[in-house]
Amino acid sequence: MARYKPMEATSFSPTGFGVTSLKCRVAAPPPLPLPLTNYRDFNHNPLIMAICDQFAMEFRHKAIDIMVGYGLPEIELDMGYQLYYLDGEDDGIDEDVDISMRGVPDEPWTGRPTLVIIAEWAGDHILEIWEKVVVDIKCYIDERLMSAYPNDYKDVEIGVEMIALELVRSKSIYPILEDENFACLQASWPTIKTNVLDILGSSEATQSHVTSISLFRFHYSGSVTTVYVSLRYESNQLRWPPIMKRVQDYLDGFRLHNLRLHMEHNLMKHIAFQFVPETPNDKRNSVWGGRDHYRELVDLGAAVGGARYITGEDPSGQLLSPRYGTLGCYLEVKTARYPKWKKVALASYHVARPAINGYQVANNGGSEKPPARESALFKADSYGFSPNAIKYHAALIEHPPRFQYNVENRGGREYVAELEAWKPGGGAEDRRRIDACTLFFDQGKQNFGSLWYGSGYTKRTSTNSRLDWALILPKKEKRVPKDPNILPVTWPKYSLREPSYPGTGKARLQPPAKGQQTKRLIEGLPQGEMLYKRGARTGPTLGYLSKFKTSCIMEEERHLFRNGSVKQMSNEYVVAGWTQFADHGDSGAVVFDRNGTAVGLLTAGLVPLQCNDKYSGIYTITPIEDMLEDIKAFSGGTIRDIRIPK
């Protein structure tokens, strides 16, 4: 995959190693595309650990000497700087030259030993000096390792990467404010999007590679109104400068708005929690997290997922837990066969997909493989899932999902064993609770229901928004709360504005009012309006509405299109947050306004590089009115009426 492939070399050193030179970044040998994280655990590579113990300080001081020799200033970093990628966390760093394993976030096996140098980018004229600095440092390191005693290091390569502060400093997303030019910018945005996409489509480096285009205020060294473009990792970044200049020249024509282009490798992704091996990854969180999952009642915001394991490509046949998402809310339907109101659960189609025959993954790292064309899943992706279209196939859904069960059960038992070893009887209460959880699954109580209808991936609304919904038929009525769709009343301490639900007592999700001024409630809401959701992963959170629609294409859906052309892009309503709005596991959560009225369903998201996903990101929502209308139409007359129960 291009994500794991080093970039092209733009030049070669006298000794033969490749050098990649970009604005704000020079590396030798050619590096992986950003974003990258610096892993500091060398325990699994004793040779690298020995090199660091012996040479780390020497290499750091030599790098600084070489920089100073070329007239480059040292960067004095302190805890006031917010740096993201170097440690993988937004916690600051006090070193501007450091050795670590430089790799893809959350995939430590991709780490490569690298001397990372943070420096100040003074403009394009500095690029040649940076190249000389990197080559000199790399040559020095290679020579020292070749001549070192013992001679175990001669085949070890330590890379050198020089990166500008602006590529590691944390960024945030803010709403575009309503000023005297707001209406003009809002009216111009569809045309700006179309023309920018046309320019990008004219270049071989970017055509068919655009994954999203958005408009927001980017804040890192001041707040800038930014046209944000993300591209697939297959797009060659070395060939971007000419096309970026053309786009920026076009944007400069809108002088009132002072628009700036930002392009980077990134993907718009579904925000279901990805499949993982059925092994625990956090013993302490596993015990804490299992306290309220094992209830027969499945509430709004509960975690749901496919009720079966998945086998990856590993020859050992290791089982993977399928992805999980959120039960958005309960709906009531009337059918031709059952004229009385009947409750069904609403979730995202992509969360239910692993329950359909034909679902497969590329490896135990968790990436999907396109389903075979003859499979039930390919048919469901293309045309939707219904009882008539895909016969004799029960796609079962469970709560809690087996990922949570496996982590809490296996990890919890290991944690309890540690407690009891430290203090006899110390983990007795946790052990009883874990035994009860095991019994819950052994008795099959996790089986919540089956997929009834699903949108598939190709359906669009009349405004070209993606439709991504699934209806789940509960197996037993006792799993459905008698008073469904209760909204949270406790909100995080950082909430700027909590919902002001009408009435007293319990707050219930409300349907959009009949006869509202706009077809969709979301269309009538003002820019920056606070919206809320309750997700299975992050619980109750809030974000703001952006009236500037994002155009995007989902990487997981490319198998259904001939290519990734912009013609397949959808136009999405966007919620964003300066505090965390969503994370993987929240797909399918219902989004509502401050009055508790349903606005739409959360389906996908994107976090720009250097934006800590605990704080900034953009998330797509599909209007609830479009979903209810499509569900009724797709059923072919089976569903006579549908509503959110009051």
Q: How does residue 566 score in pLDDT terms, banded at 50, 70 and 90?
A: very low
Measured between alpha carbons, how far is 523 from 527 in angstroms, rounded to an integer?
10
pLDDT score at 300 = 94
Q: Which two tokens stand for residue 61?
A: 């001081």
Identify which of 399, 395, 398, 392 has the alpha carbon closest to the alpha carbon of residue 451: 395
What is the 3-state secondary structure of 427-487?
A: CHHHHHHHHHHHHHHHCCCCEEEEEEEECCCCCECCCCCECCCEEEEECCHHHCCCCCCEC
pLDDT score at 310 = 83
Lowest mean pLDDT among 78-82, 359-363, 449-453: 78-82
Residue 514: other Cβ atoms inside 10 A: 5
Measured between alpha carbons, how far is 277 from 410 in angstroms, rounded to an integer?
12
DSSP state of 140: H
Delimit the domains of the chain by residue range: 2-167, 172-266, 276-643
pLDDT score at 646 = 81
Comparing 208 with 320, the larger pLDDT belongs to: 208
Query: Tokens 């820019």 belong to which residue?
Result: 527
pTM of the complete model? 0.88
pLDDT score at 93 = 39
DSSP state of 407: I
Lowest mean pLDDT among 89-98, 206-215, 331-340: 89-98
Identify which of 581, 623, 635 has the alpha carbon closest to the alpha carbon of residue 606: 581
Identify which of 454, 325, 305 has the alpha carbon closest to the alpha carbon of residue 379: 454
Please confirm whether the linkage preceding 29 is cis (ω < 30° from 0): yes
Contact 36, 112 (CB under 8 A): no
Identify which of 553, 635, 532, 529 has the alpha carbon closest to the alpha carbon of residue 178: 529
pLDDT score at 283 = 37
Identify which of 580, 480, 555, 631 has the alpha carbon closest to the alpha carbon of residue 231: 555
Type of residue numbered 66: I
Residue 577: other Cβ atoms inside 10 A: 22
Q: How does residue 195 score in pLDDT terms, banded at 50, 70 and 90?
A: very high
Helix, coil or strand: residue 385: strand
pLDDT score at 280 = 37
113 pLDDT more than 80: yes
Q: How does residue 123 score in pLDDT terms, banded at 50, 70 and 90?
A: confident
pLDDT score at 81 = 36
Measured between alpha carbons, how far is 221 from 200 in angstroms, rounded to an integer?
27
Comparing 1 with 19, the larger pLDDT belongs to: 19
Q: How does residue 392 score in pLDDT terms, banded at 50, 70 and 90?
A: low
311 pLDDT more than 80: no
Mean pLDDT is highest, among 456-470, 498-512, 609-623, for 456-470
Which residues have CB under 8 Å from 112's CB, separation 6+? 32, 101, 102, 103, 157, 159
pLDDT score at 79 = 32
pLDDT score at 502 = 53
Write phi, then psi, for 273 (nearest 5 degrees). Answer: -75, 130
Which residues have CB under 8 Å from 458's CB, separation 6+? 381, 382, 383, 560
383 pLDDT more than 80: yes
The per-residue DSSP string of 37-69 comes to EEE---TT-HHHHHHHHHHHHHHHHHHHHHHHH
Q: To 10 degrees, the CA torsion angle through 45, 48, 50, 53?
A: -120
Lowest mean pLDDT among 6-15, 162-171, 583-592: 162-171
Q: What is the chain's mean pLDDT, rounded?
A: 84
- CA geometry: angle 377, 348, 306, nearest 5 deg: 60
Query: Residue 216: left if φ>0, alpha if ψ -120 to 50, beta else—which one?
Result: beta
346-381 b/e (C-beta count within 10 Å ≥ 16 → b): bbbbbbbbbbbebbbbeebbbebebbeeebbbbbbb
> In 276-365, where do the E strands start and end?
276-277, 303-306, 310-311, 319-321, 324-326, 329-335, 342-347, 360-361
Percentage of residues in the chain having pLDDT higher than 90: 45
Lowest mean pLDDT among 414-418, 522-526, 562-566: 562-566
Measured between alpha carbons, how far is 431 from 225 in angstroms, rounded to an integer?
54
DSSP state of 502: S
Q: How does residue 322 score in pLDDT terms, banded at 50, 70 and 90?
A: confident
pLDDT score at 613 = 57
- CA geometry: angle 208, 211, 214, nearest 5 deg: 125
Q: How does residue 108 score in pLDDT terms, banded at 50, 70 and 90?
A: confident
399-413 b/e (C-beta count within 10 Å ≥ 16 → b): bbbbbbbbbbbbbbb
210 pLDDT more than 70: yes
pLDDT in tens, 514-542: 767 678 899 999 998 989 999 998 889 88
Pick the CATH number of 172-266 from 1.20.1260, 2.60.40, 3.10.450, 3.30.300: 3.30.300
C-alpha pair distances (Å), 521 with each of 189, 347, 535: 21, 20, 21
Measured between alpha carbons, how far is 149 from 153 in angstroms, rounded to an integer?
8
Please confirm whether the linkage preceding 150 is cis (ω < 30° from 0): yes
Q: How does residue 240 score in pLDDT terms, banded at 50, 70 and 90?
A: very high
573 pLDDT more than 90: yes
pLDDT score at 507 = 85
Type of residue numbered 25: R
Measured between alpha carbons, how far is 326 from 324 in angstroms, rounded to an integer?
7
pLDDT score at 315 = 59
Q: How does residue 355 score in pLDDT terms, banded at 50, 70 and 90?
A: very high
Q: How does residue 365 score in pLDDT terms, banded at 50, 70 and 90?
A: low
Contact 290, 434 (CB under 8 A): yes
Burial (CB count within 10 angstroms: exposed 0-12, middle 13-18, buried 19+), residue 127: middle
Comparing 361 with 352, the larger pLDDT belongs to: 352
Q: How many CA atoms lie within 13 A of 180 on its CB side?
A: 1
Q: Please state the rounded mean pLDDT for residues 89-102.
A: 61
pLDDT score at 247 = 97
Q: Which two tokens stand for residue 564?
A: 């990734």
Measured between alpha carbons, how far is 573 from 602 in angstroms, rounded to an integer?
10
Q: Which secondary-structure segment (H or E) carries 18?
A: strand 18-22
pLDDT in tens, 481-495: 988 899 887 766 555
pLDDT score at 114 = 92
603 pLDDT more than 70: yes
Q: Please state the rounded mean pLDDT for residues 347-370.
A: 83
Q: Please state the rounded mean pLDDT for residues 287-305.
A: 73
From first CA to last CA, the distance across the chain in angstroms is: 49
Q: To 10 degrees, the CA torsion angle through 234, 240, 246, 249?
A: 120
84 pLDDT more than 70: no
Write phi, then psi, for 132 (nearest 5 degrees). Answer: -65, -40
246-279 b/e (C-beta count within 10 Å ≥ 16 → b): bbeebbeebeebebebbbbbbbbbbbbbbbbbbe
